[in-house]
């Protein structure tokens, strides 16, 4: 709860300020999904360089709006833009790190990892088709545990969210009814039959789940782990029930085909493989190709270059570092695309 309260009170503003005089201040805004690792990187980077990274975790939609308006140096989104959208705004996009989304619950007597869910059952809960925890659709999957007769309260993101986009994109794949009625979107519009609570950011969803008996929500795994939330098992595409672990996240990420993804537009949900966690996603950085200040742009890229080398820190927070091959591709993108007065910024 300490992490949730701090995140909510500060609007999830990451400012590395540890007694060092910052030589440069870099401002970014967007996705809350990567907030824990961006906060850790920002702190360490200022200790090493004096460069200050201000990152405001306002949701992917907000990040896209702010970078489009050029009010920040970089935007961050978990819902990747298409190559057409990038070209329209004259921007580049590159993946920074990968992670996983997990369902989290507040159900008396049920501990983390005890409850099993399928994608279809999860969709039916959010559609309002399943309204009580002891519904036979849930108890049938969990014959070995006692599930209380408790109404279900579904918690979702109230802001434009890449986490929501990836969550709904997964449900869109596994539930025909979800595909027909809702689809994949950064904003979720639930049927009136569903008892729904909206929370701002991953921290807001985690907070409402913690406070509401009978609640279910979806958050990035680091938020579940840091706040001791009871996550569920999920059925993989190949049928096995999996726990959310670094092993199952890495298994899903291993199938990512970045080379055939224009603008790095790639979704990792519902990957094949017996050990592939079904809700795995990348988070992305957005920058304008035409940079007004070449020196500052170079400092921004130095931070991202450094961050790619901090894989151990990412894994400690249960994120998946980008493979070296992808980092090399991103370096080529920087060299080819970032310019000032039509001159390449990165040599």
Across 33-42, average pLDDT: 95
Architecture of the domain delimited by 101-258: 3-Layer(aba) Sandwich (3.40)
Same fold, 2-99+281-344 and 101-258: yes
CA–CA distance, 106 with 331 (Å, rounded to integer)? 43
pTM summary value: 0.86
The pLDDT tens digits for 71-124 are 999 999 999 999 999 999 999 999 999 999 999 999 999 999 999 999 999 999
Assign 194 a pLDDT band (cuts: 50, 70, 90): low
Torsion of CA 213, 214, 217, 223, to 10 degrees: 40
**Which tokens hold the place of 11?**
């609007």
Residue 318 burial (10 A CB sphere; 0-12, 13-18, 19+):
buried
- 310 and 320 Cβ atoms separated by less than 8 Å: no
What percent of the chain stands above pLDDT 70?
A: 93
- Quick check: helix, strand or coil at residue 311? helix
Report pLDDT for 100.
Answer: 96
Assign 190 a pLDDT band (cuts: 50, 70, 90): confident
**Which tokens hold the place of 47?**
């200790």
Burial 288-302 (b: 16+ CB within 10 A, else e): bebbeebebbbbbbb
Assign 24 a pLDDT band (cuts: 50, 70, 90): confident
Report pLDDT for 299.
Answer: 96
The pLDDT tens digits for 322-334 are 999 999 999 999 9
Across 44-57, average pLDDT: 96
- Whose tokens are 């279809």? That residue is 120
The pLDDT tens digits for 199-242 are 998 999 999 999 999 999 999 998 898 889 999 999 999 999 99
CA–CA distance, 247 with 236 (Å, rounded to integer)? 13
- Whose tokens are 């519904």? That residue is 135
Q: Which fold has domain 2-99+281-344?
A: D-Maltodextrin-Binding Protein; domain 2 (3.40.190)
Report pLDDT for 99.
Answer: 94
Q: Domain locations in the chain?
A: 2-99+281-344, 101-258
């Amino acid at each position: 709860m300490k992490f949730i309260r701090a995140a909510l009170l500060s609007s999830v503003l990451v400012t590395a300020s540890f007694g060092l005089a910052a030589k440069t201040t870099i401002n970014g805004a967007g996705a809350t999904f990567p907030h824990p690792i961006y906060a850790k990187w920002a702190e360490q980077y200022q200790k090493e360089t004096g460069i200050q990274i201000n990152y405001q975790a306002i949701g992917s939609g907000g990040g896209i709006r702010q970078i489009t308006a050029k009010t920040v140096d970089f935007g961050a989104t978990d819902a990747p833009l298409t190559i057409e959208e990038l070209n329209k705004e004259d921007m580049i996009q590159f993946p920074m790190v990968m992670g996983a989304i997990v369902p989290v619950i507040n159900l008396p007597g049920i501990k983390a990892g005890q409850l099993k869910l399928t994608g279809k059952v999860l969709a039916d809960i959010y559609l309002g088709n399943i309204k009580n925890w002891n519904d036979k659709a849930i108890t049938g999957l969990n014959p070995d545990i006692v599930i209380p007769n408790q109404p279900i309260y579904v918690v979702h993101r109230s802001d434009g969210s890449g986490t929501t986009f990836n969550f709904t994109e997964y449900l869109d794949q596994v539930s025909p009814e979800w595909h027909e009625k809702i689809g994949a979107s950064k904003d979720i519009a639930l049927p009136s039959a569903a008892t729904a609570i909206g929370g701002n950011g991953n921290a807001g969803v985690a907070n409402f789940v913690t406070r509401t008996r009978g609640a279910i929500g979806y958050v990035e795994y680091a938020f579940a782990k840091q706040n001791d939330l009871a996550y569920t098992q999920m059925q993989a595409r190949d049928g096995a029930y999996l726990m959310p672990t670094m092993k199952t996240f890495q298994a899903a990420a291993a199938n990512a085909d970045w080379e055939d993804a224009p603008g790095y537009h790639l979704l990792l949900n519902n990957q094949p493989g017996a050990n592939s966690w079904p809700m795995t996603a990348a988070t992305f950085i957005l920058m304008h190709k035409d940079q007004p200040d070449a020196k500052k742009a170079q400092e921004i890229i130095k931070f991202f270059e450094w961050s790619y080398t901090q894989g151990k820190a990412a894994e400690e927070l249960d994120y998946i570092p980008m493979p070296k091959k992808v980092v090399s591709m991103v370096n080529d993108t920087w060299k080819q695309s970032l310019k000032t007065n039509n001159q390449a910024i990165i040599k």
